Amino acid sequence: MKRLIIGNWKMNLTIPGAAALGRALAAAVRPATDREIAVAPSFTALAAVAAALKGSEIVLTAQDLFWEPEGAYTGEISAVMLQEIGVRYVLVGHSERRQHLGETDLMVGRKALAAQRADLHPVICVGEQETARASGRAAAVVRAQLLRALEQLPATGASTLTVAYEPVWAIGTGRAASPSDAAEMHALIRDELDRTYGGAARSVRVLYGGSVSPGNVDELMATPGVDGVLVGGASLKAEAFTRIAAYRA
């Protein structure tokens, strides 16, 4: 299984800046047979970044989508619209959308299903708030988020699925989860995937997200059960993300 490194640019960079970063990464990131590198620009910059990445092996990712293929859904983006730009992966249920935009586990599952129906690869994001971890409920929260989302997907859905564990308390704080905490939660997610998909679950990658940096990526990628990382702020700097993409585990 190839490892997967995704840079989530969030609501940053206008089109010229996003295209420049795409060109810089296309020139700096070296291809490797054991890993896949992807970036997720804002919707407005997807086409420009796709052009900037042309000829490289860096894969285009979207930050969200809507669950219907078309219709009267002002402001939304469909899976087909993403597919025609060249998107392969799409994030669904990122903690910032859950927190600020009220996304529910049901909505996350519907979005993941819409992505799969359009031959896109959904990255289902799950993770607990700091209060849940402090009270010993982290495992229960993550398990519930994952299973409610997976309920929407067909039994054959494992082949195009990725899960990202992103503890909310680690995102943007500079305080990544410890290797032992990450290993514990990744093992929990893997157990639930095995129960849901059986042997097919081996194709599902489980990523870690939350204050990933050049300074901790090697340790994170050496952690049992971590199949890749979802990178936030560090992915906005070409040098930092290039180092992350070249992790040594």
Answer positive or negative: Cα dihedral of 112, 42, 45, 34: negative
Distances 219 to 39, 63, 78, 214, 224 between C-alpha atoms, Å: 22, 26, 37, 10, 10
User: Residue 223's pLDDT is what?
Assistant: 96
Question: For residue 228, which of 38, 10, 28, 24 has the smallest C-alpha distance?
Answer: 38
User: What pLDDT digit, counting tens, does each position of 182-208 carry?
Assistant: 999 999 999 999 999 999 999 999 999
Report, as residue numbers or ranges, the catalytic residues: 94, 166
User: Residue 155's pLDDT is what?
Assistant: 85
Tokens standing for residue 95: 């903690």
pLDDT band, residue 170 (cuts 50/70/90): confident
In angstroms, rounded to a whole number, what is the distance separating the alpha carbons of residues 10 and 69? Answer: 23
> What are the beta bridge partners of residue 7?
39, 231
User: Residue 135's pLDDT is what?
Assistant: 93
| E runs forming strands in the chain | 3-8, 35-40, 59-62, 89-92, 121-126, 162-165, 205-209, 228-231
In angstroms, rounded to a whole number, what is the distance separating the alpha carbons of residues 193 and 185? Answer: 12
Domain 3-245: CATH superfamily, name plus number: Aldolase class I (3.20.20.70)
